[in-house]
Structure 1
């Protein structure tokens, strides 16, 4: 389905868009040939230390072992499928790997006041022709900042996305540009492609198993 009719709407006016709604699965080849982000020297040292600990089999702080939500941009970078739902004024993204749905607000210009920092941050989007432009800030500072595809997630992260569809509507492209003055010397771009799944596709439940290390049958 084409989103050729999706045009920018006046600020504050709810928008209904068609075309993105559906189930999507990331192209696995996108994991290949990843380029290292422009780390600051101290950041590179931190990443290398963690990698060395993992390779040595040393037990380190692994957020998945305590069922901490992966948040954004991690949920957009995993191998689990996504479901996108479009309703007036907002776009909702659900990931099979995350318990937290992501909301992109289309009729707001700033975040709600008083919100605490969040795993998914706060996303505000607008249409530039056929491209959905999303700005996300207000992230929390929980977990290691480079868990998925070298993607930053920290309290100083700002994420800019340009989301579009192929002409035949079968491929969704998300160009993610990450900014983080604490960890990076410059912005860093990640591009991911998602193939549209059949209309009757469904998300499976993938519950996190709290305390799985205490289960003698766990592998």
Structure 2
């Protein structure tokens, strides 16, 4: 008797009757049917994993190199808004006084005729980290000695040196500061000092001094998502470090376009 397909052979009224019901038809209710052994030489499929058959394998996204930041990215929330959170930083007395002098137009308190925003009125570079609040994408270009960040806003470019050098001792203060980078595991850490005091930390007018120190930590979580954690320290303006977080999404079909702030230099006419 064949154990798989024939459940028995007997004679009934002179007729040979063969019971050929497969095991799958006789499987107890609630259990999956048994599978037949493959013919000799055939390759059977491995057991499926899932409910009741062992742990399912983790779902894998498209492959990516966490050390590869190249490409065009844009903030996930679209328009950057005027700051990173609702609370804002805790100021020193000096920082609080400077904040009172700011007349930010982005929050709606002041018109373009009234604001003293250095970006809006003079097309000054936004500085770091405010550049991430400008509603334009950015692109990473990686070389063996540096990571270049191309911001679409007003053709702003940052050179993050990765050849192991330190910050110079005789830095000339600039809008975007002096940046050096290194890899800490899968996190790209950018350390920036050497700022002037002509920019704001955000579009809401929060000030800083030339003692500002910014640390950016970029981590590519998967193929399409890049997370940025920012720490701002300024002993003259901030009573304690101010932390911020921004998420970016990859746009492989985008390219950086031309955006010229000076083309909108007459902001009063532009507002009308």
User: TM-score category by the smaller chain?
Assistant: 0.7 to 0.9
Change (3 A) 1:51 1:122: same
1:208 aligns with 2:261: yes
Unpaired runs of at least 5, structure 2: 1-62
Deviation at 1:165, TM superposition (A): 0.7
Residue 46 of structure 1: SS of its match in structure 2? helix
Deviation at 1:211, TM superposition (A): 7.5
Give distance in 1, aligned partners of 2:267 and 2:233: 38
Q: How does 1:11-160 map to 2 (within 5 A)?
A: 19-28=68-77, 31=81, 33-51=85-103, 55=109, 57=111, 59-63=114-118, 64-112=120-168, 114-143=170-199, 145-148=200-203, 153-160=208-215
Unpaired runs of at least 5, structure 1: 7-18
Deviation at 1:147, TM superposition (A): 3.2
Kept in 1, the 8 Å contact 2:152–2:258? The answer is yes
Residue 156 of structure 2: SS of its match in structure 1? coil
Higher normalized contact order (CA 8 Å, seq sep 6+, divided by chain length)? 1
Larger Cα-atom Rg: 2
Change (3 A) 1:2 1:213: same
1:189 aligns with 2:238: no
Q: How many residues align?
A: 203
Kept in 1, the 8 Å contact 2:85–2:244? The answer is no
Change (3 A) 1:152 1:169: farther
- Normalized against structure 1, the TM-score is what? 0.79
CA deviations on 1:51-107 (whole Å, 9 max, x unpaired) are: 589725462423222221112212123221011111111101111113330111111
Give distance in 2, aligned partners of 1:118 and 1:3: 33
- Normalized against structure 2, the TM-score is what? 0.65
Give distance in 1, aligned partners of 2:247 and 2:268: 37
Give distance in 2, aligned partners of 1:187 and 1:102: 23
